[in-house]
Amino acid sequence: MKSIILSNGETLFYRERPGGNQPLVLVHGNMTSSVHWDVLLDKLPGELKVYAVDMRGFGQSTYHQPINSIHDFAQDIKEWATTLGLSSFILMGWSLGGAVSMDYAAHYPEDVEKLILMCSASTRGYPIFKKDEHGLPIIEQPLHSREEIARDPIQVLPMLNAYREKNKEVLKAIWNVLIYTSKKPNDEQYDKYLEDMLTQRNLVDVDYALANFNISNHPAPTGEGTGLVKNLTMPTLVLTGKNDLVVSRTMTEELFADLPHKITHIELNAGHSPLIDDLENLNQAIKTFILG
């Protein structure tokens, strides 16, 4: 692990895998960090020099100033990349990292040679809705504030309580239901991932930022779009999981509808973690997209 201190006082830690002259930057998802890219780092072609960053409030990176938007994460990565001298690279984001990567590429398109979105949040965010007496979302009642989101009894509170209690068994049960629905990491690897999950300090802030993210030209449950999606004209690979229980088909369809140019789409035989479910095909898809 290496680290860089940003001008806002935050320290971003990152992993760097030596390779060729083509840089690839990996941006992790919610409840994870650069630790979760380990299996892919071992597989990616040697022609790629790979960086995997811990975003603010995840993994080993600091969290002195709470984030208010997805763009806060993107700005951190922009300064980190500039400090490292990365001016043209391939950017890959998983889930939350997909939203961060899209925001980065929309604001700094000159930096991003190619964009890869894996099981990504929508261009119109990831709203959280009030729940009815059966625990089902009430689509007409999106949650707007951090306080409302923190009280959500289905999507947020169970994770918050597990974090407070450092209860890895609860986290494991949640991931077994929602993420690792096909394959699971081996016991040692799974425990490493669970320990890493407990380092997250920004869960409610992330959920709030995702709920209010919208770079499309369309209104979303929490507000109007910025229209910045028009800047995502770089070659783009969208990787989806056939059995993804986290990112809905509607969100993926929004992504396809909003991106301003023809994309490459590959559906993997996976849930929300192709890293575990379909690593070989994931690696091949990335290799083909980047190197041909």
What domain range includes position 263? 2-126+170-291
Give the count of domains, the chain: 1
Which of 121, 124, 114 shows the shortest CA–CA distance to 236? 114
Mean pLDDT computed over 158-173: 96
Single pTM value for the model:
0.97
pLDDT at residue 187, as a whole number = 96
Structure confidence by residue, pLDDT tens digits, 173-228: 999 999 998 899 999 999 999 999 999 999 999 999 999 999 999 999 988 999 99
CATH code: domain of residue 175: 3.40.50.1820
Q: Which pLDDT tens digit goes with each residue over 1-26?
A: 999 999 999 999 999 999 999 999 99
Identify whether 70 is part of a domain: yes
As a whole number, the mean pLDDT across the chain is 97
Quote the pLDDT of residue 222.
84
Type of residue found at 261: H
- Token digits for 88? 């043209």
Please provide residue 197's backbone torsions phi and psi, each rounded to the nearest 5 degrees. Answer: -55, -35
Per DSSP (E only), the strands in 144-262 are 236-241
Q: How confident is the model at residue 63 (pLDDT cuts 50, 70, 90)?
A: very high
Q: Reduce the DSSP state of residue 220 to 3 states and report it.
A: strand
Instruction: Report yes or no on 57 lying in a domain.
Output: yes
- What's the pLDDT band for 138 if we cut at 50, 70, 90? very high
pLDDT tens figures, 242-262: 999 999 999 999 999 999 988
pLDDT score for 261: 87
In the structure, what pLDDT confidence band is assigned to residue 96 with cuts at 50, 70 and 90?
very high
pLDDT band at 276 (very low <50, low <70, confident <90, very high): very high
| pLDDT value at residue 218 | 96
3-state secondary structure the chain: CEEEECCCCCEEEEEEECCCCEEEEEECCCCCCHHHHHHHHHHCCCCEEEEEECCCCCCCCCCCCCCCCHHHHHHHHHHHHHHHCCCCEEEEEECHHHHHHHHHHHHCCCCEEEEEEECCCECCECCCEEECCCCCEEEEEECCCHHHHHCCCCCCHHHHHHHHHCCHHHHHHHHHHHCCCCCCCCHHHHHHHHHHHCCCCCHHHHHHHHHCCCCCCCCECCECCCCHHHHCCCCEEEEEECCCCCCCHHHHHHHHHHCCCCCEEEEECCCCCHHHHCHHHHHHHHHHHHHC
Query: Would you say residue 14 lies in a domain?
Result: yes
In a domain, 146, yes or no: no
Handedness of CA 129, 232, 36, 59 (dihedral sign): negative
Kindly state whether residue 18 falls inside one of the protein's structural domains: yes
Q: At 60, is the pLDDT very low, low, confident or very high (cuts 50, 70, 90)?
A: very high
Confidence (pLDDT) at 174: 95
